[in-house]
Structure 1
Amino acid sequence: MAERETWTTRVGFIFAAVGSAVGLGNIWSFPFQTGSNGGAAFLVVYLAIVFLFGFPAMLMEFVIGRRSKQNPISAFRELGFGNWSFAGALGVIGSVVTLAFYSVIGGWVLSYIAGSATGAYFGEAGTFFESVSAGPLAVGTHAVFMAVTVAIVAFGVQSGIERATKVMIPAILVLLLGLAVWGFTLDGAAAGYEYYLSPDFQYLSENIATIVPSAVGQAFFTLSLGFSVMIAYASYLGRDDSLPADGGAIVVINTLVALLAGFVVFPVLFAIGVEPGSGGVGTAFVSLAGAFGQLPGGALLGAAFFFVLLLAALSSAISLLETPTSYVVDNYDYSRRTVATGLGAAIFALGVPTALDTGTLGWYNDVVFSFLLPFVVLLFALFVGWVAFDSASEELGMGTSLGGGFVTLWLWWVRVVIPVGIGLTLVLGIQDLLIKAQILESAVILA
């Protein structure tokens, strides 16, 4: 079996992990989640969850990965707790299922980049979305997006993932910053900023039961937590790297990208009088596309925005494919290229039904946000806090000068605060899913 790869530089790991975190979740999902949940009211809760739950949870995955030097499923067995391998397996399953519909959305982005060049979506943005989001064209673009993802992962950790994300992440930041500066010049920018940055605390108190599960799911999704991705990426790390410092850098950059996306999206929506969140999962593909058609330089701006979206989608897609790939490569005598190609083909096939009918995409998204990610993170917290706590504490202390006080605080936070918080969130999320299921059932009966 081939020797296991490692990151060539610490920056390479940070960019790769940021690339996993900075994806469609930041630029596609974050604006519509914010717009659907009261704007700044959602933003306040989201930011609190990112730093109070997301950062400690990321460190949980880091210590499992670096301590074991194994893929997410084998990591638990390597640590001496093979009966916990199901937790890593659930994360890997989540990666596969998510990538299956994520790649379909990536295919939409390819269609929109082409549409920006021709102005195809400027006149009837809704009609254009319907034409590219489902059917043979959607299947074709889904295949192209998956093929590019497979090619990057097939080249390996250093030559594929690390090299690609070192280019993608700076490009995303520069392009988003430029678009945010342009958004500042629009007539509706002030109203957009007020909606985005001035929380309505009465709205927050009245809707806290729906905002919290959405914010938790969004935070975990944008940080790639619960997919076992960070376990896989940390397994390629050296022991002299500071996990808290690396985790902090990843969380800050990821949050910055999400915030920048809001500074692009909301000024544009308010400039043309579109209600935030009204487009649902199609906000970036209908509302924003229509906006670019009404604004000066719309073709160029649209192309830039959807190119950012493409880079973000790819940087996350390669991490989702790397998770199951690392397991097969570590445990079976197959080449990385063969494994990545085979898994890519299977995931493509799994996503074809979504490419033919977008009706299931919103439901998949809700299940991942409200149940799967919080549940897997809860399992990791129980494992790290109550089962493998000695190894976890020792591993976190390596490479950092923060001292034993920080490690102890983190351990008890993982043991108590995260399980209680996520447990309550799961209850609220499941209630919300059941309500949505009842509404969907009623709609089907009426139809």
Structure 2
Amino acid sequence: MVQRETWATRTGFILAAVGSAVGLGNIWRFPFVTGEGGGAAFLLVYLLFVALIGFPAILVEFVVGRRTERNPVGALLELGGDAWKYVGAIFIVTGFVILSFYSVVAGWFIRYFLEGFRGSYASHLAGYEDIAAEAGEPTAAIMFGELSTGLDAFFFHTLFMVLTIGVVALGIRRGIELAVKVMVPAIIVLLVGMAVWAFTLPDAGAGYSYYLSPEFGVIVDNWAELLPAAAGQAFFTLSLGMGVMITYASYLGEDRNLTKDGVTIIGFDTGIAFLTGLVVFPVFFSAGITEPGDGGAGAIFISMTDAFATIGGGHLLGLLFFGTVAIAALSSAISLLEVVTAYVIDEKGVERWKAALGMGGIIYLLGVPVTYDLIFLDLLDGFADGVLLILGALLLVILVGWITPKLAVQELEKGIGDLGGLGAAWIWAIRVPVLLVLVVSLYLGVVDYVEFLTDDFAGWIDENL
């Protein structure tokens, strides 16, 4: 049996969990999902879901991880028996699949960051104007299309996975904990600085109005789309359903107050997501971009590149922005690789560096097709985020809320004391509202993914094979 590591400090655990939560989900995904949801209307519903659904759910993963001191497979095997180890495997597969395409997207941010050193974003766009005119497409969209696939995308995917594997191979204390103690404070400082800068931009007020002034009629009219979108974003941005919080909590001691840690992590994560909006939406509206949700996975690259080419000081702001997201992406990626690495260490007795290199190498290979065509990003993303992530979280909630509730409350009380009625309130919160949200989200996710497979992906196969 390989000796299991622990966190050196509470700060290390908090920053690692925050680092996992604040990656691409907050800075790549949050702006365009917020834009698709109508700005402030989505933000309000999202914040409600974080508080009412995200907090009870993160405690579920904490108690499972700390009580068993195992990875998701070993943890669920110990709590529920043989059949539940297959549920634990869902978490491993989810993290595995997400990191495969996540690495490619992170590579895009590194590339855009480095492009800033080669000249202004306006000069880069100028190089694609002729192609854009011939294709009848926006110049920034053509630039994104050129940089997001091909040998360049392959190279930066490779570079990012090498960095991720290197950090995880060094271990909990010497690798992950040291890295996040540098990266997470840097992310916060850079975002605060950019938010202050964005405040000075012309038409920033229009961006704040869009982002901070909800129209309740929009919520009433679009609740069927807003609710599952907000729930999915809350789970994605808090790294729930991926096995990350189970794995990180497995390195904790019994004296830790899990409730306090959960509040701290959610507070930091939500604050950073909110800060991102204070940067992005003033920049969008100052550059005349009033439809922030357009563009899907490439929305943040297309819109922000256009903005940085237009506004005063855009060159420096672009460097800071893309560099910050690249750092945030690495802090999340190491958490995803740690989930599958911990599984191999715990269950197979493999040395850490071999486990990190082996699993990281397989994940890297799975992501290579994404560098060829973005249809594979949609294929992997839809399966992981729309189906696996929600399915794993749903089954875990059933196990904790309905099968082992007494054990869960006992574990939560360690480091806190007798919870009294609050323990029962937590259990009923995950038994009813959390469970219902997950059931609805899973249904909608499956429907959407089947539609994608039968329409978009089937069409791509007909055209290319």
Native 8 Å contact 1:22 1:316 kept in 2: yes
C-alpha separation in 2, matches of 1:388 and 1:81: 12
Q: How does 1:26-425 map to 2 (within 5 A)?
A: 26-79=26-79, 81-119=81-119, 121-123=121-123, 124=125, 125-274=140-289, 275-401=291-417, 403-425=419-441
Deviation by residue 1:63-105 (Cα, 9 ceiling, x = unmatched):
0000001111011223352321122110110000000000001
Normalising by the residue count of structure 2, what TM-score does the alignment of the two structures yield? Answer: 0.92
C-alpha separation in 2, matches of 1:425 and 1:105: 24
Native 8 Å contact 1:152 1:318 kept in 2: yes
C-alpha separation in 2, matches of 1:206 and 1:5: 50
Cα 1:23–1:441 change in 2 (3 A) is closer
C-alpha separation in 2, matches of 1:38 and 1:439: 26
1:278 Cα offset (Å): 1.7
Q: Which moved more, 1:42-51 or 1:251-260?
A: 42-51
Residue 23 of structure 1 is matched in structure 2 by 23
Deviation by residue 1:148-186 (Cα, 9 ceiling, x = unmatched):
000000000111011100111111011001101111111
Amino acid at match of 1:261: T
Deviation by residue 1:376-435 (Cα, 9 ceiling, x = unmatched):
111110000111222111000110147222211101111222112221232333344455
Q: In the comparison of the two structures, how many residue pairs are matched?
A: 447
C-alpha separation in 1, matches of 2:229 and 2:53: 14
Native 8 Å contact 2:77 2:88 kept in 1: no
Native 8 Å contact 1:100 1:350 kept in 2: yes
Q: How does 1:421-436 map to 2 (within 5 A)?
A: 421-436=437-452
C-alpha separation in 1, matches of 2:122 and 2:62: 45
Q: Where does the alignment leave 5 or more consecutive residues of structure 2 unmatched?
A: 126-139
Q: Which moved more, 1:275-284 or 1:163-172?
A: 275-284
Native 8 Å contact 2:71 2:246 kept in 1: yes
Amino acid at match of 1:139: F
Amino acid at match of 2:326: L
Deviation by residue 1:261-280 (Cα, 9 ceiling, x = unmatched):
11111111111111211232
Q: Which moved more, 1:296-305 or 1:166-175?
A: 296-305
1:248 Cα offset (Å): 0.6
C-alpha separation in 2, matches of 1:289 and 1:322: 33
Structure 1 vs Structure 2: percent identity of aligned residues?
48
C-alpha separation in 1, matches of 2:251 and 2:458: 49
Q: Which moved more, 1:189-198 or 1:70-79?
A: 70-79
CA RMSD of aligned residues (A): 1.9
1:445 Cα offset (Å): 11
Q: Where does the alignment leave 5 or more consecutive residues of structure 1 unmatched?
A: none
3-state SS of the aligned residue for 2:416?
A: coil
Cα 1:164–1:445 change in 2 (3 A) is closer
Normalising by the residue count of structure 1, what TM-score does the alignment of the two structures yield? Answer: 0.96
Amino acid at match of 1:42: F
Amino acid at match of 1:22: V
3-state SS of the aligned residue for 1:277?
A: coil
3-state SS of the aligned residue for 1:79?
A: helix
1:286 Cα offset (Å): 1.3
1:205 Cα offset (Å): 2.0
Deviation by residue 1:202-240 (Cα, 9 ceiling, x = unmatched):
222222222222111111110000001110000000000
